[in-house]
Amino acid sequence: MTRPNIPPAPDPEPLEPSHWQSLHRLLADMDEQIAELYRRRGITEVRPRFVGPLILLARHRSLTIRELAELTGRTHSAASQTVTALRKQGLAQSAPGDDARTRRVTLTDRGRALVPLMEAEWHATEEAVRQIEREIPYPLTRVVDDVRAVLGARSFTDRVEEQLPSEFQSS
């Protein structure tokens, strides 16, 4: 494998080492393995981030993008991007809502047909995560709760601010 001809940086790369990179990579790898589960079944149009919205749309029959964002805990922009991707893959459709500012999103027949597998995969994934937590010395959910408690005492924003050089700190 040849490496691209990239000139060396004058200073060490600012993005290395990243304490978060391994966590991001782990989550991305797990999502990719779930996508592989779908590909093994001939389903190439579904990405793991579609599963929650597909299940919610099946259960609610019709949602606005704002409602979908609230139910998934995502931003309106992220929900809108997901709906656009679902429509592009032929899994959802949208129509004007009650006023000119909203659109109602529903599943297509293809989208509805995939939901039973999506729900089964969701439950299987949750059980696999519980299984992993039983195999490691401490549950990841406990780590998340512990980090949230620490950040509740002093926010992440304040902690990062404190680490900035003085000329970049707010007054």
Count of structural domains, the chain: 1
Q: What is the pLDDT of residue 18?
A: 79
Query: Residue 63 belongs to what domain range?
Result: 40-137
Per residue in 8-23, pLDDT tens? Answer: 666 666 666 778 888 8
In a domain, 149, yes or no: no
Give how far Cα 169 sits from Cα of 50, 159, 160, 163, 164, Å: 39, 11, 10, 9, 6
pLDDT for 1 equals 55
pLDDT at 35: 96
Band the pLDDT of 170: cuts 50, 70, 90: confident
Alpha carbons 109 and 58: distance in angstroms, whole number: 11
Q: pLDDT by residue (tens digit) across 114-142?
A: 999 999 999 999 999 999 999 999 998 89
CATH of the domain at 86: 1.10.10.10
Q: Is residue 20 situated within a structural domain? A: no
Q: What DSSP designation does 73 have?
A: T
In a domain, 161, yes or no: no
- The average pLDDT across 79-90 equals 97
| 71 part of a folded domain | yes
Q: Which residue has the tokens 């401490």?
A: 138
CA–CA separation, 74 and 80 (whole Å): 10
State mean pLDDT over 85-99: 93
Lowest mean pLDDT among 15-19, 41-45, 106-110: 15-19
Does a structural domain hold residue 148? Answer: no
